[in-house]
Amino acid sequence: MSPVTSGGFPIQYLSRQSGSDVRELVARKGGGGGGRGGGSRGGGGSRASSSGSSNPSAFSLSSASGRTASPKSSGGGKPIVLPSGPFQGRLVGGGSRKDIYGDARYGSGYPGTSGSRSVSGAPFPFGFYPIFIPGPSPSLHSSEEYSSDVPGLSRPGGAMSTEIVVSKSLGREAGVFYLVGDSSSVALVFSAIVANCNATNLDQPLATLTYPLPAGATNVTMPDTEEIIQYYRASSFALALEGYNSSVATAPSESQAYAGPVGLPASVDASFLQCINATTAEFVPIMDAPEKYHLTTNDIVWIVFGSIVGAFLLLYSCCWLSLRIATCCDERRSRKERVRKDLENASGQAQKKTKTIPQNHPAIIEPVMPVPQPCITSRPDSSTLTLATMHSHLSDSTAVSSFVSMKDKDGFLAIDTRKPPLCYSAS
């Protein structure tokens, strides 16, 4: 079947609009057919007072996981094991937004798998439980463990809910769509669709799905399994089209090959559906990565601010340390210079007090000692003892001056005054 366009655009479906990896859900003439009326649908519910127009924001998933989920979150990170609760021991988290799309089969949209799978005992890669939709298909029976009547079950994001989505400008003629999932996710996605796609809920507030229908609750128009055209987030969120009848919804998921999406009614506005599909995939909340994988805007701001302050303090410390080292070096050089000058002054004063004798001064010339001479051995007559007589007894006339003539009772005594005395002569 060749693609039929509606409103001038082919209906992009089941994938991001990037390159050739974009699948088309073609419109078909004659409408979808097979859709049930509102009163005979498999589920029931009651309208909540909220209109689902809250602003997108992060919210806590459960006390067991201790993690949060956010619209437009990238997800990822390492999965954790649920420590308690009805699903104790199962892995939760790790899914990324690039794996957000499934297809029209329940159990599709699990990362790392193609097609659909049983959701019984399955992990929760995006942090949310698969939606509970009762029906005749064997592939849907495994969803009963996620029913609202399971003891102790507290669905992350709140109770299962639905919200109607209609084009504000085209009305019901462009298609009546339903968002199905936990109440927080439905409200957040609906707010984004209203802002991005010019949509409305026809003043019908968010409806809470309960199975079975509580006594006294007002039955409302709820989507059937066959009306779901797209699953997201590991089959924990879905988009349904009123009046659509998908044969793959009731076929065993693991025994029958997927033949592709069933065509949509020709009245469906392609651009409006594209907007709903893309906005849902972008804004449906998924589990945030752990803190070591995920940084908030405030975290980034504080990190940048702290880095700037830290860099300033480091620069200041380096400058202060450099100046301190330079000052210490200057002081050390000054002390050395003062010590050197003090030593020079002390040396100069000592030189002034000590008389310096020139090297050629006579006082330091070693005297030439006279050669020892023979002593006078005979006593001359005192009358004739004269200086000339003494000369006759000395071979060295230079030694005459060394003698002193003294007279005692014995006569004259000649004494050599040099040290040690060379000789003496006495009568």
Q: Which of 297, 325, 340 is the last residue of a domain?
A: 297
Residues 290 and 146 in one domain: yes
Across the range 145-161, mean pLDDT stands at 77
Which position has the higher pLDDT, 256 or 229? 229
Residue at 398 is within a domain? yes
Q: Strand (E) positions, 155-296?
A: 160-167, 177-182, 199-200, 207-210, 228-232, 237-241, 264-265, 286-287
Residues 284 and 386 in one domain: no
User: Which residues lie closer than 8 Å to 202 by C-beta, 6 or more apart?
Assistant: 164, 166
- For the stretch 168-186, pLDDT in tens is 999 998 899 999 999 999 9
- For the stretch 83-100, pLDDT in tens is 888 888 999 999 999 999
Predicted local confidence at residue 216, as pLDDT: 52
Across the range 268-291, mean pLDDT stands at 92
Strands 23-24 and 12-13: antiparallel
Q: Report the phi/psi class of residue 364: left, alpha or beta, with left for phi > 0 and alpha for psi in -120 to 50.
A: alpha
Closest CA relative to residue 133, chosen from 44, 32, 252: 44
Predicted local confidence at residue 233, as pLDDT: 95
Across the range 151-170, mean pLDDT stands at 86
Residue at 5 is within a domain? no
Residues 115 and 255 in one domain: yes
| Structure tokens that stand for 20 in this block | 């050739």
Closest CA relative to residue 24, chosen from 56, 46, 2, 40: 2
pTM above 0.75, yes or no: no
Rounded mean pLDDT of the chain? 71
With 90 as the cut, is the pLDDT of residue 258 above it?
no
Residues 391 and 292 in one domain: no
Which position has the higher pLDDT, 17 or 410? 410
CB 253 within 8 A of CB 139: yes
Across the range 199-219, mean pLDDT stands at 68
Residues 273 and 391 in one domain: no
Predicted local confidence at residue 371, as pLDDT: 57
> For residue 110, how far is the Cα from the chain centroid?
29
Predicted local confidence at residue 221, as pLDDT: 56
With 60 as the cut, is the pLDDT of residue 36 above it?
no
How many domains, the chain? 2
Residues 244 and 380 in one domain: no
Residue at 158 is within a domain? yes
Residues 293 and 406 in one domain: no
Predicted local confidence at residue 123, as pLDDT: 92
Predicted local confidence at residue 340, as pLDDT: 85
Residues 52 and 187 in one domain: yes
Predicted local confidence at residue 426, as pLDDT: 45
Residue at 281 is within a domain? yes
Residue at 368 is within a domain? no
Residue at 196 is within a domain? yes
Predicted local confidence at residue 108, as pLDDT: 87
Predicted local confidence at residue 422, as pLDDT: 43
Residue at 353 is within a domain? no
DSSP state, residue 29: T
- For the stretch 127-152, pLDDT in tens is 999 988 766 555 565 677 887 666 55
Predicted local confidence at residue 367, as pLDDT: 57
Q: Which of 297, 314, 333 is the last residue of a domain?
A: 297
Residues 385 and 288 in one domain: no
Residue at 188 is within a domain? yes
With 70 as the cut, is the pLDDT of residue 353 above it?
no
Across the range 344-366, mean pLDDT stands at 65
DSSP state, residue 226: G
Across the range 61-84, mean pLDDT stands at 82
Q: Which of 297, 321, 355 is the last residue of a domain?
A: 297
Residues 265 and 394 in one domain: no
Residues 109 and 245 in one domain: yes
Q: What range does the domain containing 92 cover?
A: 12-297
Predicted local confidence at residue 280, as pLDDT: 97
| 424-426: strand order across its sheet | 403-408, 411-416, 424-426
